[in-house]
Chains A and B, each alone.
Chain A
């Protein structure tokens, strides 16, 4: 039975407007880019380091963090795409690379005013397929019991609700689409039959006139 271990994570960024444009470099926002464990795991057991690649205009745009919290705090004036690479405890395991768009601007009036910070967070899961023994042992060790905090529980609840909601929506959409597919398939078959009928009719109509001409 092939082995799969799933470690849910969240990653994203928060952003807060200064209130004004900083004269020295034109920066307008303070942002924090982060990767966290969803369950408040000790990620060091399976993650060796995380590398964040920022925009070239940042000094040392490749930043590596070897221990949690895996967060980058910076300021800037524009949105850009960052590349996040997660290196695992087992050096033979290929790192996971993905892209993340850093979001600064929002249409929410609260955020614009500065009352609420902008949170651009995604839930995702690291799926370890047939991990090596080293990793397996590391991840299954009992030291990983998550420390559940208030914040944690709230977040878990929120995501759980979202999940249920999303799944329901998707299922409903699928029903709708499948319904239409069925309907269109029937219509298509019917139309094809009609085409065949019409063609047969036209063949039988042409052939008598055909004979007339040949007999000429």
Chain B
């Protein structure tokens, strides 16, 4: 994107790239093809990183202008220098001070000729010979602070000697550790001993706690063990883990979907409930002309919300939008002529599934699809169809919710698996669930076996029973698999917590 800005600014001065294809056909083809689609930035990548890697068709314009004067490795500099004479080189001997003060090893290399009066230069690479500061302790200090029941003095001395020699490269130190003379030590043991000594010495000498030598041997051991396990997974185990990860993701997504469906619909229903209450309680003064019955319902609904006392409907028109339930039928507010049956037309936004459901219910109620179009019928019919859709959505939400409940219960059972709780037979208590510890599990058990049906006064067969459970967000795993999955996810989580 930076390139785009820069190009835009400089677009007058920069010559256009070779779109000037000499071939006429190419030009025509290019025009027809249109601008080439640029590759999209991958999701995880930062914008700046992408702009570094991305290959645009247009030349990438550098933001910092390059210096074309002499200096740097440019052509101009070479030109300048080629006019000058070559400096003379000399085959000189040198010593490396990094090799130690008592070193007499002499090597030779080419150097620029120096004036003889200048002092001899130090070998420039000697300064890189850095050493690690391994602390040394006196006998006194050892006896006072550094005693340890697992390490004796000789071992400690040997350890420190090795540290000095190998510059704290503990892998080498561990390798060089003489496990015939001394007991076998792991890398963590050696490190642990070294760092505890360092911290104690530091504290002893300066009387200040420092965080410089923090080393947690136990943590390191566990970490390495986990890495080893990770490395030594068989192919089958790895695939299984991937599979489980994906399953987990999918289940989580489905669960979120279900949550969304349920919570959305509950809002709708609460509103619809209020609507229904207001239509049955109030006498609605119908303003026939351009307000449909639905908008008069809206008025009442809003009035209920705003002024709870005022129950008489007023003709004051409140411009509202329809509540998000059911179907929005075409309304005719503008002056003009229309045919009554046009108000019965279903909007095209309704998916086929819902259309089929409407037809099904109408058939069950022995109603025809397009009844005669007088005002009362049109209103009632539209409301009926709205209600049918509402029922359908409600049924779906209920199915999702029931499924959600089942999975939650199974998960609960799985986590409760170790403790043996006797499953005593309980009476189905439809509504309330008490929060006592012991019987709670058994209460939930009954929920697993029977669906809860508080009201049985609906005459069967229900209309909603014939609805196909179409969009239940449900995985097709069997119950056993589900339990195995949940137990495995919990073990994975535990493993993560451990490391």
Interface residues, chain A, with chain B CB atoms under 8 Å away = 1-4, 6, 8, 88, 93-94, 96, 98, 122-131, 159, 162-163, 166-167, 169-174, 176-195, 197-199, 201-202, 205-206, 210, 213-214, 216
Is A191 touching B401 in the complex (CB atoms < 8 A)? Answer: yes
Min Cβ gap A156→B in Å is 12
Instruction: Give every chain B residue within 8 A of A96 (Cβ-Cβ).
Output: 337-339
Min Cβ gap A108→B in Å is 16
Min Cβ gap B394→A in Å is 5
Is B337 touching A170 in the complex (CB atoms < 8 A)? Answer: no
Instruction: Give every chain B residue within 8 A of A129 (Cβ-Cβ).
Output: 289-290, 332, 334-338
Report which of B266, B339, B361, B384 forms a contact with A188, defined as CB distance below 8 A: B266
Instruction: Give every chain B residue within 8 A of A170 (Cβ-Cβ).
Output: 367, 371, 377, 380-381, 384
Is A192 touching B262 in the complex (CB atoms < 8 A)? Answer: yes
Using a Cβ–Cβ cut-off of 8 Å, how many residues does chain B contribute to the interface with A?
73
For the complex, give the distance between the alpha carbons of A112 and B463 in Å: 35
**What are 9 A-B interface contacts by the 8 Å CB criterion?**
A125-B340, A127-B337, A180-B463, A181-B390, A181-B394, A185-B394, A190-B431, A195-B405, A206-B415
| B55: interface (CB < 8 Å) | no
Is A122 touching B290 in the complex (CB atoms < 8 A)? Answer: no
- Please, which residue of chain A has its CB at the minimum distance from the CB of B447? A194
Instruction: Give every chain A residue within 8 A of B444 (Cβ-Cβ).
Output: 198, 201
Is A125 touching B373 in the complex (CB atoms < 8 A)? Answer: yes
Instruction: Give every chain A residue within 8 A of B341 (Cβ-Cβ).
Output: 98, 122, 124
Is A198 touching B374 in the complex (CB atoms < 8 A)? Answer: no
Task: Given A185-B394, A195-B408, A205-B416, answer yes or no on A174-B387 (Cβ-Cβ < 8 Å).
Answer: yes
Instruction: Give every chain A residue within 8 A of B416 (Cβ-Cβ).
Output: 205
In B379-394, the 8 Å CB interface with A consists of 380-381, 383-384, 387-388, 390-391, 394
Given contacts A3-B289, A166-B372, 4 further A-B contacts (CB under 8 A): A96-B337, A163-B374, A169-B367, A176-B365
Task: Given A186-B455, A191-B452, A195-B401, answer yes or no on A166-B371 (Cβ-Cβ < 8 Å).
Answer: yes
- Please, which residue of chain A has its CB at the minimum distance from the CB of B333? A129
Instruction: Give every chain A residue within 8 A of B362 (Cβ-Cβ).
Output: 173
| B269: interface (CB < 8 Å) | yes
| B409: interface (CB < 8 Å) | yes
Report which of A2, A4, A173 forms a contact with B365, defined as CB distance below 8 A: A173
For the complex, give the distance between the alpha carbons of A63 and B440 in Å: 77
Instruction: Give every chain B residue within 8 A of A206 (Cβ-Cβ).
Output: 415
Task: Given A173-B384, A174-B380, A205-B415, answer yes or no on A197-B433 (Cβ-Cβ < 8 Å).
Answer: yes
- Please, which residue of chain B has its CB at the minimum distance from the CB of A198? B408
Is A177 touching B394 in the complex (CB atoms < 8 A)? Answer: no
**Interface residue SS majority, chain B:** helix
The 4 closest A-B CB pairs, nearest first, are A130-B335, A2-B289, A173-B365, A125-B340
Q: Residues 261-302 of chain B: 1 if any A CB is under 8 Å from the residue's CB, otherwise 0?
A: 010011001001100100000000000111000000000000
Report which of B289, B371, B452 forms a contact with A4, defined as CB distance below 8 A: B289
Instruction: Give every chain A residue within 8 A of B196 (Cβ-Cβ).
Output: none
- Please, which residue of chain B has its CB at the minimum distance from the CB of A97? B339
A-B interface contact total, Cβ < 8 Å: 188
In B246-270, the 8 Å CB interface with A consists of 262, 265-266, 269
Task: Given A177-B361, A188-B262, answer yes or no on A213-B290 (Cβ-Cβ < 8 Å).
Answer: no
Instruction: Give every chain A residue within 8 A of B415 (Cβ-Cβ).
Output: 202, 205-206
Q: Residues 412-454 of chain B: 1 if any A CB is under 8 Å from the residue's CB, otherwise 0?
A: 1001100000000000001101010000100010010000111
Is B372 touching A163 in the complex (CB atoms < 8 A)? Answer: yes
Report which of B397, B401, B462 forms a contact with A180, defined as CB distance below 8 A: B462
For the complex, give the distance between the alpha carbons of A173 and B463 in Å: 10
Is B440 touching A181 in the complex (CB atoms < 8 A)? Answer: no
Interface residues, chain B, with chain A CB atoms under 8 Å away = 262, 265-266, 269, 272-273, 276, 288-290, 332, 334-342, 361-362, 365-367, 370-377, 380-381, 383-384, 387-388, 390-391, 394-395, 397-398, 401-402, 404-405, 408-409, 411-412, 415-416, 430-431, 433, 435, 440, 444, 447, 452-455, 458, 462-464, 494, 497-498
Instruction: Give every chain B residue within 8 A of A162 (Cβ-Cβ).
Output: 372
For the complex, give the distance between the alpha carbons of A190 and B265 in Å: 14
Is B398 touching A122 in the complex (CB atoms < 8 A)? Answer: no
Instruction: Give every chain A residue within 8 A of B387 (Cβ-Cβ).
Output: 174, 177-178, 181
Is B273 touching A126 in the complex (CB atoms < 8 A)? Answer: no
Is B454 touching A167 in the complex (CB atoms < 8 A)? Answer: no
Min Cβ gap B350→A in Å is 17
Report which of B272, B366, B431, B463 forms a contact with A169, defined as CB distance below 8 A: B366
For the complex, give the distance between the alpha carbons of A184 and B451 in Å: 12
Min Cβ gap B266→A in Å is 7
Min Cβ gap A99→B in Å is 10
Min Cβ gap A185→B in Å is 5
Is A179 touching B458 in the complex (CB atoms < 8 A)? Answer: yes
Report which of B377, B431, B458 forms a contact with A183, defined as CB distance below 8 A: B458
Min Cβ gap A205→B in Å is 6
Residue with the highest number of chain B CB atoms closer than 10 Å, among A94, A178, A216:
A178
Is A213 touching B273 in the complex (CB atoms < 8 A)? Answer: no
- Please, which residue of chain A has its CB at the minimum distance from the CB of B443? A197
Instruction: Give every chain A residue within 8 A of B340 (Cβ-Cβ).
Output: 6, 124-127
Instruction: Give every chain B residue within 8 A of A166 (Cβ-Cβ).
Output: 367, 371-372, 377
For the complex, give the distance between the alpha carbons of A4 and B288 in Å: 8
For the complex, give the distance between the alpha carbons of A38 and B338 in Å: 16
Instruction: Give every chain B residue within 8 A of A125 (Cβ-Cβ).
Output: 339-340, 373-375
Is B464 touching A184 in the complex (CB atoms < 8 A)? Answer: yes
Instruction: Give every chain A residue within 8 A of B371 (Cβ-Cβ).
Output: 166, 170
Task: Given A123-B374, A174-B384, answer yes or no on A181-B391 (Cβ-Cβ < 8 Å).
Answer: yes
Instruction: Give every chain A residue within 8 A of B404 (Cβ-Cβ).
Output: 191, 195
For the complex, give the distance between the alpha carbons of A171 and B371 in Å: 13
Instruction: Give every chain B residue within 8 A of A128 (Cβ-Cβ).
Output: 337
Min Cβ gap A151→B in Å is 18
- Please, which residue of chain B has its CB at the minimum distance from the CB of A177? B387
Instruction: Give every chain A residue within 8 A of B272 (Cβ-Cβ).
Output: 181
Instruction: Give every chain B residue within 8 A of A210 (Cβ-Cβ).
Output: 497
For the complex, give the distance between the alpha carbons of A159 and B290 in Å: 26
Min Cβ gap A34→B in Å is 16
- Please, which residue of chain B has its CB at the minimum distance from the CB of A46? B337
For the complex, give the distance between the alpha carbons of A124 and B272 in Å: 30
Is B365 touching A169 in the complex (CB atoms < 8 A)? Answer: yes
Task: Given A127-B338, A129-B338, A187-B454, answer yes or no on A213-B408 (Cβ-Cβ < 8 Å).
Answer: no
- Please, which residue of chain A has its CB at the minimum distance from the CB of B493? A206
